[in-house]
Structure 1
Amino acid sequence: MKKMVKGEITVFLSMIFLLLLTLVGAVIESASIQVLKNEKRAAAGRAVESVFAEFQTTLLENYDIFAVEGTYETGHWSEENILNRLAFYGAENMDSEIEKIEYLSDHSGQAFYQQAVEYEKEKYGVDVAESLAGGLSVWKDQKENAEEYEKENTRTSAELDTLLNEAEEKLPEEDNPIEAVGKIRNGKMLDIVLPQSFVVSQKAVDASGMVSRRSLNTGRGSFPEPTNKIPSSIFFNLYLLDKFICASDESNNRPLAYELEYLLEGKANDSENLESVVKKLLLLRFGPNYGYLCTDTAKKAEAETLAAGLCTLLTVPGVTEIVKQAILLAWAYGEGIMDVRSLLSGRRVPLIKSKESWQLPLTGLLTLGASGDINEGKDWEGGYTYQRYLQMLLLLEKKELLTMRALDLIETNLRTRLAKDFFRADTCITKLETKNRCSMRRGITYNFKTRFMYQ
């Protein structure tokens, strides 16, 4: 008689074993797919890093800015240039398209601005920037005071003209500093303020094709922005002073010899830029000079004596006080001319004047700018140089304006002085994000993104 054996446990265990095999197979397959995904992501990451390793070396060596020159020295830009390089560096088995891209000139040069700021942070540290930030309010006050005093000068001149015209009288021209300074103001300022040894650069560029003026190639998409506790304009200001020359520098091998002046004025030739900057400096010096005169009783008395002499033959009530005020304003302006001469001669000028640092006697106004006027100003220990005054003017300018003009100079220098005629700031790539699609086994596709940014 055969023994009957029940098989429920065997069948149950077989089913469990089958399920375990299925689970193990699924886990292995999932891990295998994940490994493939990681390999694809790694390949794409290596490819994009390799592309960004091909940065423009001349740009880096001269201006410490990283960017991929997207035409690859051909002068012809296409996104296919980048996609082809991605494929060359290991992303050939996937479909890639550029989803976001940023060029050096995008958003008023924001990518360039950020790199310049980061470079100066590393070079100088926070302490230097904080000291400059503390002086920024002083510069702003100086500018506002100068503008107010200039308005006062306009009001005084108008009031004096009205009184004299109504009385049908006029001040004598002889020994009249108001008349002398008025003629200077209406003339070409460089002829008056430049030291005799100073030779004005006649260099000029074609500004029509510059970055700040032409129609630009633009990117798309947005990237995260860095946050700065110290005002970034301080660091950018330091960058401009580091990388660009001005009228007081000896180097003259660039398309424009007065680069900092170009940043401030944006004109196509050196002489016009210098003329405009000189006028700004005169206004900036006019304020503190006039402020000091108002506190110096001896100089006010001297101005009053001269005013009384000029008004001796006039029958206009109250005109002497107005003439005195006009003389003080003219004297402050004349002292400003001496200040600018000092600066352009390589000397230093204090921000606030004193009895000791005052340069121009009242009688000197009458010969200012004449053929025998060879006074090139004094050097005052502890004062500020020409470049430092330019730094003040730069701090007061708009960030976007300075950034685009800086790109003008960089592009012009690379294209002409450094023989990189293919270079254009709006084809230099600083940030990139690609969307990638790759096929895996059994019809599975994998979509992912890759991003790289110069920081």
Structure 2
Amino acid sequence: MRETERQKRWAAGSITAYLCLVLILMLSLISGTIASVRNAHARVMTACAMEQGLYSLFAGYDRTLLGQYELFFYNGGDKSGVWKPETMSRKVAETAGEVLSPTASGMGILSGSLSGGQVTEVYLGGYRLATDEEGSAFSRQICEAMKASLGTYGIQQLSQKLRGEQETVKRQEDGQSGYEEEEVLKQYEESKQPEEGTEKTEGEGESGNGTPSEPDQKQPVPEDFVNPIEVIQKVMKMGILGLVLPEGQCQVEYVLCGKNSDQDNLAGTVNRLLALREAANLVYLAKDAQKQGEMEAMAGVIAASFGVPAAMPVVKMALAVCWAFAESILDLRELLDGGKVALFKTAESWQLSLEQLPKLLETGDQSRKNAPGGMEYSDYLRLLLMQKSGKAVTFGAMDLVEYNMRTEQQQPGFRLDCCVDELEAGFTAVIGKREYEITRNYGYEMQGAA
């Protein structure tokens, strides 16, 4: 009887012990689960706080820069243009703290959570500015803005058009070989006088019947004849701006030339356009049979007036150079007056007759023609820009943006060197009794966390 009671008590104790052990295990499991959940919750809070901090920072992009140039950059400098990274760190810390703190007044997405926390340290791991890597972020955003406005198909069409025009210009420049302006006009000046210092050999100067022959004599020309080469040579020495008289603020021209004054940038651009148009016009003159005949006839008259008929080919080349130059002056005047000029001339789009050359400055504008299917001034500027390196164009464009932001937008301390495109930041937070550290990368490319 006693043995049976002892066994019963032992069994009851074993069951109790087992139940206690199970309860302890369950409590340990629940406690561990709760700790794990709290830890996971804290990590989620930390990640959310960092994301919120960076998002809040980058939401403070420069509105003027976006409105004027469609560029997303956070200005990390002060009003005087001094780089202030600590301002960005403080902004991230403030926003992250609002997310972590349980006492935040509705500012954070997890405000009111039972697990409070605070940011103890914020650091910047790295950043990419608009001007870093030769302006790669700046040029990338420009390209993205163009793609958004034109679309992929539009950009492809524009690229094909520009490449075709560039190939045409290259062919025209290659076709100009042999008609270099300075060399042709130098030969022309030399052709005016017969060679001196040559001695006659025996029998030289006698005709076939033994009588002395008369040397070449200058042939008379009509009294009203004006040698157009002499006139155009004087025109060439005039200031190019005085010949074309454009107006405006020279933005693209600065990118092309990079000079310190609008006048220098404009003069440089116009000279490049003049060279481009001269090459095109010379190529056309070389292919037009009628104009070739006109030049030969006039060159014969001019060479005869020098008393050097053999100089006719050189005079003809000088006529072609002067005619192409004068035609190009009218081209530039038309472009800068808002008109269009064909990239490659035809008989219909050619403006100036050979007889009009001496009166280019007096009556030349009466012959100007607008070519409806031609190219505008801005189109020709794009052609010139394509001849420059991408680095040079990017640097010039960045200079212009800074200049306009400082002057037109009244931000005298603005600097693209302080404009942030991408940022890596991290912070340490204390939630409960544990420390949590996190690092994230954020930028206007929106490629997500690092």
Please state which band the TM-score falls in when normalised by the shorter chain: 0.7 to 0.9
Secondary structure of 2:422's match? strand
Letter of the 2:195 counterpart: A
**How far apart, in 2, do the equivalents of 1:374 and 1:136 lie?**
29
- The structural deviation recorded for 1:352 is 1.4
* Cα drift, residue 151 of structure 1: 4.5
Q: Who is 1:111 aligned against?
A: 137
Match of 1:243 in 2: none
Change (3 A) 1:275 1:181: same
Structure 1 distance, partners of 2:19, 2:300, is 123
Deviation for aligned residue 1:190: 1.4
Which of 286, 298, 303 pairs up with 1:294? 286
Normalising by structure 1, what TM-score?
A: 0.77
Normalised by the length of structure 2, the TM-score is 0.78
Q: Name the CA distance, whole Å, in 1 between partners of 2:78 and 2:42.
A: 32
* Pairwise CA distance, 1:328: 2.0
RMSD (CA atoms): 3.0
Q: CA deviation at 1:29?
A: 1.6
Contact 2:193 2:308 in 1 (8 A): no
Q: How many residues align?
A: 393
1:342–1:379 CA contact under 8 A, matched in 2: yes
- 2:350 matched to 1:350? no
**Distance change >3 Å, CA 97–CA 150, structure 1 → 2:** farther
Task: Note the 1:292-441 alignment, pairs <5 A.
Answer: 292-312=284-304, 319-369=311-361, 371=362, 373-375=364-366, 377-441=368-432
**Match status 1:73 vs 2:79:** yes
**Where does residue 32 of structure 2 map in the other structure?**
26
Structure 2: which 5+ runs fail to align? Answer: 98-117, 198-217, 446-450
Aligned to 1:223: none
> Whole-Å Cα distance in 1 between the matches of residues 89 and 174 of structure 2?
58
Change (3 A) 1:261 1:168: farther
In our comparison, the structure showing a higher alpha carbon Rg is 2
What do residues 337-373 of structure 1 show as CA deviations (whole Å, max 9, x unaligned)?
Answer: 111111112111111111111001112222333x565
Kept in 2, the 8 Å contact 1:347–1:379? The answer is yes
- Please report how far the alpha carbon of residue 394 of structure 1 lies from its aligned counterpart in structure 2 after TM superposition: 2.1
Tell which deviates more after alignment, 297-306 or 7-16: 7-16
Alignment of 1:180-219 (within 5 A): 180-194=231-245, 200=247
Whole-angstrom CA distance in 1 between matches of 2:25 and 2:176: 92
User: Counterpart of 2:55?
Assistant: 49
Letter in 1 for 2:134: S
Is 2:179 the partner of 1:153? yes
Q: How far did residue 134 of structure 1 move? A: 0.8
> Structure 1 vs Structure 2: percent identity of aligned residues?
29
Deviations 1:236-278 (A, max 9, x none): xxxxxxxxxxx4xxxxxxxxx1212112111122221111111
Question: Which residue matches 2:441?
Answer: 451
Deviating more after overlay: 149-158 vs 391-400? 149-158
What is the CA distance between 1:21 and its match in structure 2?
Answer: 4.1
Contact 2:50-2:426 at 8 Å conserved across structures: no
The answer to which of 172-181 and 414-423 deviates more is 172-181
Equivalent residue number for residue 128 of structure 2: 102
1:104-161 deviations in whole A, cap 9, x for unaligned?
2222222222222222222221222111111222232233234434542226456656
> How does 1:247-258 map onto structure 2 within 5 Å?
247=248, 257-258=249-250
- The equivalent of 1:270 in structure 2 is 262
